[in-house]
Structures are given as C-alpha cells and as structure tokens.
Structure 1
Amino acid sequence: MTDDLTLTTTHTDGHLAALCVGGEIDIHTAPALRREALDVIAQGHPHLILDLTGVTFCDSSGFNALIGIMRCAMAAKGSTTLAAVPDRLSRMLDLTGLSSIMPSYPSVEAAIDARLTATPEPA
C-alpha cells in the first residue's frame, strides 16, 4: 500500500469533534491516524466522530488503530462514533462485535446529531 492518508478536523464543538479520514489506513499510515485522533481527544474533545467517507483501504493495522482510538476516548470518558463506513470495514466491525460499542451512521451530520442527543454538554 501507500502512505496516502489525509486527516482533517472538520468540526469541533465543546466535547465533540469530527475528524475526516481519507485514503488508505495501513501499517504505514495507522500510527498517524492514531496520533491525530489522540491529539484531538487531548484538546478536550473526548467524543470523537471519525468520518471515513474517503477511506479507500483499511487493513488490520487500521482496524487496530480504530480500537486504540476508541479505548483512549473511553478512558477520557468519551466515545468514538463512525460516519460513512466503507462496506468492508463495516462488515469487519459487525463480525467482531465492535459495531455495538463503536456505532456508525451514514453521514457526519447524522453522527453529530446522535452524539449531541446522547451526550449533552455538562452545565
């Protein structure tokens, strides 16, 4: 595979942020995805939405990065929500049971709405 990966924070609002991921998530790029996501969480956005619209490939290294991101978000009393998950990755999440703790939505907007409903801002 290649090192082509794009990461862009597209939404931040209180404890919620959306990170747009594009390209290939593999052994070469998964560490960058993890670092960027953990940086967003550390900036005070523990409820993270990963927009996977532009993901063209994801191997086991990428899958493990998603699990690591989810664990770090949970440790920060947050969550990881996925948006626009490619079919292959969606099947992998279903087969492993992770789709039950890392929910996915068809779009970032739907994921934001769901997260805002599920996790209101503290007073």
Structure 2
Amino acid sequence: MTDVTEEFRLNLAHIDGPLAIATLTGDLDLHTAPGLRTGALEWIGQGHHHLILDLRGVGFCDSSGLSALIGVWHSAKQAGGALELAAAPDRLTRMLTLTGLDSLLTVHPTAQDVLSTHRPTADA
C-alpha cells in the first residue's frame, strides 16, 4: 500500500467576526482528516461558525477527507453557521456530485466568489 499523504497544512487566512477563511494544502486523507476536523471545530468553538475552506492547494481527497468535510459542515450548521468550499479539485467536485453531497457542500470557484455572495450578519 502506498502512502499518498503529502504535507498537510490548515491555515486561517482571514477572520471577520463569525466568518473565517482557511486554506488547505496537501492531501486530505485518512492521515490528515483528523487535523481538519480538529482545526475547524476549534474555530467553530471560538465563534467562527461561517467557514470557507479554500481547497486550491489540495492534491488528493479520499473518503476520509470527504467524511471530515461532512463533519465540519454538520458542526457549523449546529452552531448556526455554514461551510462553503472554494476552488475544490475536480476529483472532489465529482465525488460530491456523484454522492449528492453537492447539495450540502456548495463549491465556488474562489474564496472571493463566496465573500461576494455571503456576508453573515454580526449577530449570526
């Protein structure tokens, strides 16, 4: 079995009240999905429950990564927020479409596109 995991990084790129934009770099898989969940749940717990994940640096995403994204979406939703994806790789976009999850996890071309359409209120 080949280990496909590349160095994974999750960085907060922008914070504006309840809105947070994070960039992901590397592979999102069995080995790195827990890091995504931990980081995102920490931000949600800090009140940044409207999350935008910029995935342009993600080279690979397996079912563990997809499961982590669903878990983050669910946690954001429970906190009264949302999770939106930006610049998702083609393979992930196809996986979301094939599973019907594209109705829950909205994919935008860029994080800027999300910002132009999604402005949470200060009390959201």
Q: TM-score, normalised by structure 1?
A: 0.93
Structure 2: how far apart are the matches of 1:115 and 1:39? 22
Number of paired residues?
Answer: 121
Structure 1: how far apart are the matches of 2:37 and 2:91? 20
1:73-97 deviation per Cα after TM superposition (whole angstroms, max 9, x unaligned): 0110110000001000001111122
Amino acid at match of 2:51: L
Q: What is residue 61 of structure 2 aligned with on the other side?
A: 58
Q: What is residue 24 of structure 1 aligned with on the other side?
A: 27
Amino acid at match of 2:86: A
Can you give the 5+ residue segments of structure 1 that lack an aligned partner in the other structure? none
Task: Tell whether the 8 Å contact from 2:30 to 2:64 is kept in structure 1 after alignment.
Answer: yes
Once the two structures are TM-superposed, the CA of residue 59 in structure 1 deviates from its matched residue by 0.6
Q: What is residue 120 of structure 1 aligned with on the other side?
A: 121
Q: What is residue 43 of structure 1 aligned with on the other side?
A: 46
Q: Name the SS for the 2:48 alignment partner.
A: coil
Structure 2: how far apart are the matches of 1:53 and 1:102? 16
Once the two structures are TM-superposed, the CA of residue 3 in structure 1 deviates from its matched residue by 5.2
Structure 2: how far apart are the matches of 1:109 and 1:59? 26
1:11-34 deviation per Cα after TM superposition (whole angstroms, max 9, x unaligned): 110111011001001111100011
Task: Tell whether the 8 Å contact from 2:5 to 2:28 is kept in structure 1 after alignment.
Answer: no
Once the two structures are TM-superposed, the CA of residue 122 in structure 1 deviates from its matched residue by 2.6
Q: Percent identity?
A: 49
Q: What is residue 86 of structure 1 aligned with on the other side?
A: 89
C-alpha RMSD of matched pairs (Å): 1.3
Can you give the 5+ residue segments of structure 2 that lack an aligned partner in the other structure? none
Pairwise mapping of residues 59-74 of structure 1 onto structure 2 (< 5 A)?
Answer: 59-74=62-77
4+ runs deviating over 3 angstroms: none
